[in-house]
A and B are shown apart, each in its own frame.
Chain A
Amino acid sequence: MNNRIRELRLSIDITQEELARHVGVRRETIVFLEKNKYNPSLRLAYDLSRVFGITIEEVFIFDEPRRE
């Protein structure tokens, strides 16, 4: 799963630290999310999309084939 967090964060001109504060996680978690090294919980995904003012589907891109 890929995401557009970095792109969206830069578009609203906030730092990783500020975004982390908005969604109540550590800054490292935002770093891991931007590097696609961590898939967030539904709650965190919802909070992130709410900060950007768009839907979850617009933030996270499911481009992998479905696993068996």
Chain B
Amino acid sequence: MKRSFFLLLFSLLLLWNSLYMLTSPLVIKSGTDWLESILLVVVSGFGLIKGASDLWVSWKGDPIKDERIRKMHMKASSLAFQISIWCWVGLMIVNRHLSKPHADIMETGILMMGGAYIISIVVIKIRGLGDE
């Protein structure tokens, strides 16, 4: 419960900050900045939903994690890892043309990893775990 509360609080602050970044012309200067801000909004939004849902579940007296949730996170992690590798390769190729500083590319890559994890979770939730 305490962990869910902190996740909710942290996500709320992150979402507020990322929305501020998205609307501020001082921060958004290029296409990469747009991409980073949008990814940050998606990641923090996901954290907010997860924190709120975990709080709701624990308030009802249900377990926050059961065997399906554990299996889902395990599969999502492995799927996200594979997607992330391709994201990093893509970023390396794109950066040859953009010549951006490595720190900026690292930021985008890390946020893309978060995005890949969220996509994996959503896909698994829709498709179900089946014979895993």
Residues of A within 8 A of B (CB): 1, 20-21, 24-29, 32, 35-41, 43-44
Contacts and interface: CB of A to CB of B under 8 A. Distances in A.
A-B complex: 3 closest residue pairs judged by Cβ atoms:
A37-B128, A25-B66, A29-B68
B132 A26 contact: no
A32 B61 CA distance: 19
B1 interface: no
A40 B131 CA distance: 9
B128 A35 contact: yes
A24 B66 CA distance: 8
Given A20-B62, A41-B67, 17 more contacts: A21-B61, A24-B63, A24-B66, A25-B63, A25-B68, A26-B68, A29-B66, A29-B68, A32-B68, A32-B128, A37-B128, A37-B129, A38-B68, A38-B129, A39-B129, A39-B132, A44-B67
Q: Is the interface of B mostly helix, strand, loop or mixed?
A: loop
A40 B67 contact: yes
Given A29-B68, A32-B68, A39 B62 contact: no
A37 B130 contact: yes
A53 B76 CA distance: 35
B2 to A, nearest CB: 19
Contacts of A24: 63, 66
A43 B68 CA distance: 12
Interface in B50-77: 57, 61-63, 66-69
B63 A26 contact: yes
Contacts of B66: 24-26, 29
A9 to B, nearest CB: 17
Contacts of A37: 127-130
